[in-house]
Amino acid sequence: MTSIAASGSDRQTIFVVEDHPTTLEGIHSILKRFGDKIILETLTTIEEAREAIDRLRPNLLVLDLQLPESAGENASTEVGIQFLKDLMNDYEHLNIAVHTSYPDALVRIIPDIDNHRGGFTVTSKDSATEKAFERFRAALHGYTHTRDIRSLKAGLELKPEWLETLDLACKEGYQDRAIAKHLHVSESMVRNYWSKIYDVLGIYPEDEKEEGRNLRIVTCLKAREEGLVD
């Protein structure tokens, strides 16, 4: 386990769980783009990661899927997937960025990802540096971006509360506060619903076609095209 501390009072803690030195070096170079606003801690096994997260909840967890349970053991994607499921179950607001050579493995746990309330993004290890940084930053800010795995799963699947959020916004013109009151949830939960809705519909601020356009308007148009809103 290694740590890199940064100066400043508004630092955010980022844990990186990765056992391959070359990949780890690449992740560190990407995270350097955050400048002096982060505290970076590196962990190489799931055992180390569990202990670290129990000790301190990071603002962002960047992890591979192919990981060893403990020192000296072989890395396994199955072990990594189970660890990820446990994390989402135990720490529902934890921001997670999966950085892996095996993103397809996440398809089977999409329902778990959809239930997760923290940020969740996915990048492949061969992603461009700028793309990886943007996904890390999106997860840090609580956004969901799983286009790479959703493209492998046919059909749109929206939870009832997401559909009701769409109805209230697109048909009734409700803003988040009114939606929250109607659904008896917090405004932060409504913002989480929107993040999930954007993700399922494939609407992301990074897309050039969405630049300068109101995401809610774009979302309502797309929802109507898909028959989700009358």
pLDDT at 7: 42
- Assigned CATH for 160-225: 1.10.10
Between 152 and 218, the higher pLDDT residue: 218
Chain centroid to CA 96: 5
Q: Is a pLDDT exceeding 80 seen at residue 213?
A: no
56 falls in which pLDDT band (50, 70, 90)?
Answer: very high
Share of the chain above pLDDT 70, in %: 90
Q: Considering the entire predicted model, what is its pTM?
A: 0.85
| Torsional sign, CA 204, 13, 25, 106 | negative
Domain covering 2-150, topology: Rossmann fold (3.40.50)
pLDDT at 154: 61
Q: Is a pLDDT exceeding 80 seen at residue 85?
A: yes
Q: Is 66 helix (H, G, I), strand (E, B) or coil?
A: coil
- Mean of per-residue pLDDT scores for the chain: 89
- Where are the chain's structural domains? 2-150, 160-225
Q: pLDDT by residue (tens digit) across 140-157?
A: 999 999 987 877 666 678
How many residues are recorded in the chain? 230
Instruction: Return the closest-CA partner of residue 106 out of 89, 123, 94.
Output: 123
Q: Does the fold of domain 160-225 match that of domain 2-150?
A: no
